[in-house]
Structure 1
């Protein structure tokens, strides 16, 4: 029976799944050409705008002589005056050296102004464009302004749009009408509420910017593996399916089997907490080892609380297990708490229940870190 389950489980994931992992390896039949530095451009970047020799060499080797040095000088000077550092400018020109001849008045200034009026600071604009240079090559009227308008309608305010776009410039690079909006409508049709969708936009910025047909295929596979659209985990199941190659998925399955998970238990864990499949193989093994070594928890415990695989070994598991072990040695607790309590409750709750009442016995093991806010917030941290 287990063999049948294993076969079915992998077939569900692998069938027609080429869309999940596209090779990005490129091949060339040409010998690598030696770059020839354009001395005029190199000199201009080094002496006029203080580029690093490495960046100046890379950019100048990709350019013919400057068509209009005065205009290029005005362009770079304008950007510097508006918050762009040399590092930002080097990144822009490494992305596309021809940007040095961009039309300042018709192309650059209007786009900078759009983001200034939206509420971005100059430094934020510089970081956004340096990280996403292709924004300069998108039409302001046909792409950038419509994208910002769609986001404002979804998020409710310019401030919320700024917060999202700062996380990913892809939201103004991609065609939202062809990608994001159809994906949102599809997820809403599967009973995913907008609050969850918006959280996902912030946490996993590229998920909703895929081709709609890909998201639908991912949803089909998630449902075949048992994900229910009525569950709050549904959107995460769809996202996780699309985040991994076949090979990565198989490594996770083999690791879980090696830890003692049955096929049914793997399916149960996927339905209950899909993000565990994003945890590295190394971390899965580390979490399992530290929990099982206590003698208090086993594979069945992890299956019941799969989120525990996502928790930090150093910041959560070790400090809490050390407290419980100390209390156990001193016979101050009759029974260890469930793995769910150990893994998922807040530091404040854990401290209040297991450390505060026994400060004389276990307080020396840990320090409580204060926070900058007015509220006291317990943070367990092993003393070293």
Structure 2
């Protein structure tokens, strides 16, 4: 007996309405997004269902009330609902995952244990653990609605043919399970062929697939245009940054790209400067134009760094103003104002140095001179610095 009815076009349409930026986001369908609009009310709520959900399985009273009043299948008896949820708990589903799953698709409360086993088996065969399967399914609830025989299993086979082993498929799905929900023949496979046509070896494509899975889920015409544009900008197809350039261009519309170009031009960058930066570090162009401008303004305002410095080391724009750039700039200004340093570090040293290295170079040697005030500045508002208490205490005592 089939697990569920054939999904309607309306139920599948959510696959195509989700914006690309959320393709691999596990919180897209969280319990917070649950709406009773999904669960059509009927006049006679089931107090027995409510009792099972709240007292047996610790569902929130609000969600349980909505589910108990929903138009569930006739097979959804209190005993069946309790049996389904108990089974899923045995399969490592947490209460939070169950609430997300049932809140999205209440009809699972009337499904059979055999049906669940049938759907879980292909994922177990890949070597995925119960916890991993629970995470994948709770974050990608449509897996329980799509046909296993004509949809899920063929996609898993296609992925295995591409990647070469169950282990590689499992690794990919743990990173981004949307591959079993997307049309692989219209997206993944054509995109792989496009990269092959750019003389990228299959080994590197597989590496890119694991590191940047969303890039392979865009429409193939977008991938082709992005590849052509990256080549036009001078990004080498044999460079490791080529796929990063594709990722940025694939998720940046023409108008948005032009806004970034104009923003940089207004700041004094030439087109050659911009393309040089893009070739060296395309990822920084994934940020909003306003964000890029703010970081450039902070660096130029120091009077120590200019446009040529930023063009030479655009990776500096990938660091946070609040957590890294500004606190370090404050320390350097403090040192300079007290004539403790004559020269600031290069832009790469300012931004890329590890926290410990920056501390050892510009804080520890001047502990007595700059005192607690400046040391506090570098430790506050910069959570990523993670300076140990011992190091700070050592500096205070030195």
Q: Which bracket does the TM-score occupy, shorter chain normalised?
A: 0.7 to 0.9
By how many angstroms is 1:59 displaced? Answer: 4.2
Which residue in the other structure is 1:66 paired with? 74
Q: Residue 369 in 1 paired to residue 386 in 2?
A: yes
Which residue in the other structure is 1:381 paired with? none
Question: Do the aligned residues in 1 keep the contact of 2:236 with 2:242 (CA within 8 Å)?
Answer: yes
1:1-384 to structure 2, matched below 5 A, reads 37-38=41-42, 42-50=46-54, 51-59=59-67, 63-64=71-72, 66-69=74-77, 70-105=79-114, 107-116=115-124, 118-140=126-148, 143-145=151-153, 147-148=155-156, 161-176=169-184, 178-193=186-201, 197-198=205-206, 200-361=208-369, 364=372, 365=375, 366=378, 369=386
Number of positions where the alignment pairs a residue of Structure 1 with one of Structure 2: 343
Question: Do the aligned residues in 2 keep the contact of 1:37 with 1:57 (CA within 8 Å)?
Answer: no
2:213 match: secondary structure:
coil
| Aligned equivalents of 1:208, 1:198: Cα separation in 2 | 11
| Aligned equivalents of 2:231, 2:205: Cα separation in 1 | 18
**Greater shift in the superposed pair: 237-246 or 155-164:** 155-164
By how many angstroms is 1:323 displaced? Answer: 3.1
By how many angstroms is 1:370 displaced? Answer: 5.9
Q: What is the Cα-based RMSD across aligned positions, in Å? A: 3.6
Question: Do the aligned residues in 2 keep the contact of 1:240 with 1:277 (CA within 8 Å)?
Answer: yes
| Aligned equivalents of 1:192, 1:308: Cα separation in 2 | 28
By how many angstroms is 1:180 displaced? Answer: 2.5
| Aligned equivalents of 1:360, 1:272: Cα separation in 2 | 40
**Greater shift in the superposed pair: 314-323 or 289-298:** 314-323
1:37 match: secondary structure:
coil
Question: Do the aligned residues in 2 keep the contact of 1:233 with 1:272 (CA within 8 Å)?
Answer: yes
By how many angstroms is 1:141 displaced? Answer: 5.0
**Cα distance change of structure 1 residues 311 and 359 upon mapping to structure 2, 3 Å threshold:** same
Q: Deviations over 1:291-341 (max 9, x none)?
A: 122111123322222221111112221232233223323434332222122
**TM score, norm. by length of structure 2:** 0.72
Which residue in the other structure is 1:25 paired with? none
Question: Do the aligned residues in 2 keep the contact of 1:215 with 1:242 (CA within 8 Å)?
Answer: yes
Q: Deviations over 1:35-60 (max 9, x none)?
A: 85235564343111224343245445
| Aligned equivalents of 2:160, 2:301: Cα separation in 1 | 51
1:206 match: secondary structure:
helix
Question: Do the aligned residues in 1 keep the contact of 2:50 with 2:68 (CA within 8 Å)?
Answer: no
**Cα distance change of structure 1 residues 253 and 61 upon mapping to structure 2, 3 Å threshold:** farther
1:38 match: secondary structure:
coil
Question: Do the aligned residues in 1 keep the contact of 2:50 with 2:67 (CA within 8 Å)?
Answer: no
Q: Where does the alignment leave 5 or more consecutive residues of structure 1 unmatched? A: 1-20, 23-32, 379-384
**TM score, norm. by length of structure 1:** 0.74
Q: Deviations over 1:50-71 (max 9, x none)?
A: 2434324544565255235254
Q: Deviations over 1:158-194 (max 9, x none)?
A: 6655443223211333354553244234324324455
1:49 match: secondary structure:
helix
Question: Do the aligned residues in 1 keep the contact of 2:226 with 2:250 (CA within 8 Å)?
Answer: yes
Q: Deviations over 1:199-234 (max 9, x none)?
A: 543443321123333311221222233333133222
